[in-house]
Chains A and B, each alone.
Chain A
């Protein structure tokens, strides 16, 4: 049985639903903040991805609270949570599950029984995903895209909402495997987890080394999440704003019509259409959070780094010059006019 249909038949009901969403989101954010210190942008982007029904790749050095964040969100949402610690010897079956022989207790016969893997959860923490081999990494592909798992010829649907929150260490570290492009493309956003500042670190110490840690409480039900997702999808994006998103995505294509001069040679592969989808979907949630009923170019622009940084492949030249993807995207943002071109 699916979630209840969101019925909005008047402007007032729309306003009320949006208001309610913002209240819920604020509550969720404050609940997460009980255990997660700082990293507000990371928290917000993660929650945006949740509302946009997408997955998030969190990248940062170990110890920045990535796992804590995911656990806190799972606790705040009251969703089933599982964690996979990706290691080089992890097998795909360790993720999806495996079929075992089981004895019938009544008449002593034997039968094949499928034992579900950790992927059968609503929030899946794929910790240090780049430490596993590409074969194991790709075990998540179907689950992330189709929200189904096929084992032994049988396809099983995953419970909704289904959110994969993967963390990875920067690829320049020892013992890591770069995620394949197809895998990366499945993530709605890639969020860079930055270092904490002095105040935040002090607060972390106070909370974690004290007598008792605060545990987040569930503030949002599954139905509410589903309604929030429906609401976000119905947010309007005007044609010229959508065109801006399209131009931004096409600007990442080296030979594209909108590729700014000087940027083309630094990119070897641009974003796929999934990048544009991710950009618009996330921008809708941001517009909703900002109390608007339509997406603006500012929403789109603010989400460009998170939505496109894992979809753009730098050229050898850019790597040699030490130009990061974020720098390239900043240049694209600067050189793509926000004014309507229609």
Chain B
């Protein structure tokens, strides 16, 4: 019987696998139709429900769920409908035209009569036949069920719809929203591009300030791009512009700016001659106009080299340049800016003369935070840089003076040339700071323009008066509610306002009969109780004590004045004065 069992078992397995495949494909049809319907719905409702329309998320999940569900269903159905040995043998008999030998053997295997045994032997002989085994795989082929193509086709259609059909926009609001989105993108792009272009005009700034592709605090996720609103686009652009503005701020208050500022501050205190060949240079330096200073220096250098100056002029020039060199050397030693910074930080301003001690003091100062310490160090560096530049300018002027007097060497003339380079450097630094300042202005304007276009602005679509920058007070707008105003007919009656009576009680009317003494007592007690219940802040304690102390003094003084009068009244009765006992 074993050959029959083996053969039938193999047939059962093949039939079970075939049933699984058939059920899977069959179950896929309704699920595929469901996904197709969902795909269509997603195209319709996608404008209101962006996450559903997103093919990158919803589609793979839906496909995986459909295939998984179909597989689970097929597994359950195949297990539930698994054929028994008799049924499988019967199918095999019919397909192989075995005249029910196998199924009869399976059905009669337990019987012991001779005819049953003979029938079972027939089945066994049949099962042993190699041709039968060979034919079995052909008789039970794995074949797709009828109309197997429906499920995959519908599924493919759903994928195409989901992935390639655009989301429909049926409402005017959605259309307007998409137009607003496009406009916001265009405006934001234009504004940011303009600012970047403005920054890139200055080579010194473009490297440090212009945004890089990886810069930005928070970038918009491309997956969320479909769910963006115009405000989000503008907000993102504002973020970029603000970032550039912050960097520009850093440049404007940075080391170079401080250095230039310190230098100009030192130069401004020089005593510049108003006349003479060196006056132009001195005046330019005093004004802090590096361009004019360079021009004047170059002119003097040319005059000296060409020998166009007469002796008296040369002498005068030598004197003025030597004087300028002396003043510049003195300016190099000026540490006013650093001293101010030290004073603001609560440190001894004498530390400006000893950088090492300043560093140690700054590190040791517990009341300074890291940023303050860094600012101090920056001020120190700026002062040192400015001093160095002053020194070099002074040397250049000195050298030029010597050359003008004829006592100078070629080295002195070279020193004058170096002064020109120094001025060029300062000029470019000034220009950079000027550009940074202008760019910052552009950033501010750009942010304002972007902010004006947002929905909170009065210019934006559907905007309100909130956020108006003009400083005017926005007119109140009625809140849309279901409240209706109507005038009721009521009878007016004389009497107190009910609400006031309920809160304050009946109003006290008439002349006060309270004595000043009692009022003073109440004030004193009341102030003490109030102080106990709610402690007065330390900064107000003095004022508090002064106020109530003064009040008490005045009341006591008033009472002392009133007491003799009272005594006199008691001795000679007088009609009561309305103000006599009143507070």
CA distance A284 to B122 in the complex (A): 16
Is A296 a contact partner of B90 (Cβ separation < 8 A)?
Answer: no
Contact yes or no, B103 A293, CB < 8 A: no
Are B115 and A340 in contact, with the CB atoms below 8 A? no
Of A15, A290, A295, A342, which is within 8 A of B118 by CB? A15
Docked pose: A14 CA to B119 CA in angstroms: 10
How far apart are the CA atoms of A238 and B110 in the complex, in Å?
12
Of residues 306 to 342 in A, which have CB atoms within 8 Å of B's CB atoms? Answer: 338-340, 342
Chain A contact residues, CB within 8 Å of chain B: 8-11, 13-15, 234-236, 238-241, 290, 292-299, 338-340, 342
**A340, B86: Cβ atoms closer than 8 Å:** yes
A289 to chain B, nearest CB (A): 12
B87 touches A340 (CB 8 A): yes
B557: min CB distance to chain A, Å = 123
Q: Report the Cα distance A342→B114, complex, angstroms.
A: 24
Say yes or no: A241 contacts B104, CB within 8 Å: yes
- Report B-chain residues with C-beta under 8 Å of the C-beta of A234: 115
B116 / chain A contacts, CB cutoff of 8 Å: 236
**Could you give, for residues 108-139 of chain B, a 1 whenever the CB lies within 8 Å of some chain A CB and a 0 otherwise?**
10000011111101100000000000000000
CB distance from A25 to the nearest CB of B (A): 18
User: If A13-B114, A238-B103, A292-B101 touch, does A339 touch B119 (CB 8 Å cutoff)?
Assistant: no
- Greatest chain A CB density within 10 A among B91, B94, B99, B100 is at B100
A236 and B119 contact, CB distance less than 8 A? yes
Contact B107–A14 (Cβ < 8 Å): no
- Alpha-carbon distance between A201 and B254 when the two chains are bound, in angstroms: 128
Could you say which of B90, B97, B119 contacts A240, with CB atoms under 8 Å apart?
B90
User: Would B99 and A240 count as touching, CB distance under 8 A?
Assistant: no
B86 with A338: CB separation less than 8 A:
no
Question: How long is the Cα–Cα vector from A203 to B579 in the complex, in angstroms?
Answer: 165
Which residues from B are CB-within-8-Å of A294?
A: 100-101, 104, 108, 115, 119, 122
**Which residues of the other chain, B, contact A9 by a CB distance below 8 angstroms?**
114
Write out the residue numbers on chain A whose beta carbons fall within 8 Å of the beta carbon of B114: 8-11, 13-14
| In the bound complex, CA of A263 to CA of B118 (Å) | 39
Given contacts A238-B104, A294-B104, A340-B86, contact A11 B99 (CB under 8 A): no
Give chain B residues whose Cβ lies under 8 Å from the Cβ of A235: 115
Contact of A338 among B94, B101, B115, B117 (CB under 8 A): B94
Q: Which of B55-98 contact A (CB under 8 A)?
A: 86-87, 89-91, 93-94, 97
User: Which B residues fall within an 8 A CB radius of A?
Assistant: 86-87, 89-91, 93-94, 97, 99-101, 103-104, 107-108, 114-119, 121-122
* A14 with B100: CB separation less than 8 A: no
A293 adjacent to B87 (CB under 8 Å)? no
B101 touches A11 (CB 8 A): no
Known: A14-B114, A14-B118, A293-B118. A339 touches B94 (CB 8 A): yes
- With both beta carbons as reference points, the residue of chain A lying nearest to B95 in the complex is identified as A339
Distance, CA A36 to CA B571, complexed state (A): 177
A14, A239, A241, A342: the one contacting B115 at CB < 8 Å is: A14
- Chain B residues contacting A10 (CB-CB under 8 Å) are 114
Query: What are the residues of chain A within 8 A of B101 when measuring CB–CB?
Result: 292, 294, 296
Residue ID in chain A nearest B119 by CB atoms: A294
Q: A13 contacts which chain B residues (CB < 8 A)?
A: 114
CB-CB under 8 A from B117, the residues of chain A are 11
> A298 and B99: CB pair below 8 A?
yes
Q: Please determine whether B122 and A292 come into contact, CB atoms closer than 8 angstroms.
A: yes
Contacts of A236 in B (CB 8 A): 104, 108, 115-116, 119
Determine the distance from Cα of A53 to Cα of B276 in the docked complex, in whole angstroms: 158
Pick 30 A–B contacts, CB within 8 A, sort by A: A10-B114, A11-B114, A14-B114, A236-B104, A236-B108, A238-B103, A238-B104, A240-B103, A240-B107, A241-B100, A290-B99, A292-B119, A293-B115, A293-B122, A294-B100, A294-B104, A294-B108, A294-B115, A294-B119, A296-B93, A296-B99, A296-B100, A296-B101, A296-B104, A297-B94, A298-B97, A298-B100, A299-B99, A340-B86, A342-B86
Q: Known interface pairs A14-B115, A339-B87, A340-B90. Does A238 touch B108 (Cβ–Cβ under 8 Å)?
A: yes
Known A-B contacts A294-B108, A340-B86, A340-B87; A238 and B118 likewise in contact (beta carbons under 8 Å): no
Given contacts A293-B122, A340-B87, A340-B90, contact A238 B100 (CB under 8 A): yes
Q: How far is the CA of A296 from the CA of B101 in the complex (A)?
A: 8
Residues of B contacting A240 with CB < 8 Å? 86, 90, 100, 103, 107
| Chain B nearest CB, measured from A342 CB (Å) | 6
Chain A residues contacting B91 (CB-CB under 8 Å) are: 339
Is B108 touching A339 in the complex (CB atoms < 8 A)? no
User: Cβ of B90 and Cβ of A339 under 8 Å apart?
Assistant: yes
Contact B103 A11 (CB under 8 A): no
Q: Given known contacts A13-B114, A290-B99, is B87 in contact with A238 (CB within 8 Å)? A: no
Q: A238-B108, A339-B87 are in contact. List 10 more A-B contacts (CB 8 A).
A: A8-B114, A234-B115, A235-B115, A238-B104, A238-B119, A239-B107, A292-B99, A293-B119, A296-B100, A340-B86
